[in-house]
Structure 1
Amino acid sequence: MNQDRPRRREYSKQFKAEVLTRCAQPGASVGGVALAQGLHSNMVHRWIREQRERQALAPPAFVPLRMP
């Protein structure tokens, strides 16, 4: 492996969750949130897409209903 190339940055799950929470706020723009965190907006868009994919694969929540 080439030692001259910079390594990819790795971000914690907590950091990603905070960024995604900020993006979900009313009036927030993904680009603005990304810029404020020193990130490229494409990366944040990828995190949003990955979050949606995980949610789509998650089993639906079971809510028991009591019958009278």
Structure 2
Amino acid sequence: MNSPRRTRRTHSEAFKQSLIEACGEPGASVAGVALANGINANQLRRWMRERGIEPPVLSSLLARPVADVAAGFVPVELPRNTDSPIRVELRKGTAVVTVDWPASSAAACGAWLREWLG
């Protein structure tokens, strides 16, 4: 049985440069840029080394003062809405059963569900 031959992908220099530049953007990671573009992060790091560019070190991202990281965070208090029901939808074959349970009785819903799934 013949297995399919793997072929090497080739990428243009412009593509490689665009990914390398994307790694330099604030908040970007080599792994994230590679994943978003369908390549292995090690390949992207190799392209950087070949061009004399040192891949960013994770610890340098964490070295920022905590105040800078937390400056954009604004806590928001959400109102508790206990009027919304808990909706459980169960499917078996073509049959569908939907159960609406009051959120104020969430513990009882959990107990019923555990017993039912048994």
State the partner residue of 1:44: 44
The 2-side partners of 1:24 and 1:10 are apart by: 23
TM-score, normalisation: structure 1:
0.68
Moved over 3 A (4+): none
Alignment partners' CA distance in 2, 1:23 and 1:34: 9
1:7 match? 7
Distance 1:50 1:5 in 2: 28
Counterpart-to-counterpart distance in 1, 2:23 and 2:38 = 14
Please give the alpha-carbon distance, in whole angstroms, between the structure 2 residues aligned to 1:33 and 1:9: 18
The structure in which a higher percent of residues are strand is 2
Identity over aligned pairs, percent: 45
Matches within 5 A, 1:17-56: 17-52=17-52
Higher RCO structure (Cα 8 Å, ≥6 apart):
1
TM-score, normalised on structure 2?
0.41
Give the number of equivalent residue pairs.
Answer: 51
Structure 2: state its 5+ residue gaps: 54-118
Quote how far apart the aligned CAs of 1:13 are. 0.4
Which protein is richer in helix relative to its size?
Answer: 1
Tell me how large the CA RMSD over aligned residues is: 1.7
1:52 aligned counterpart, secondary structure: coil
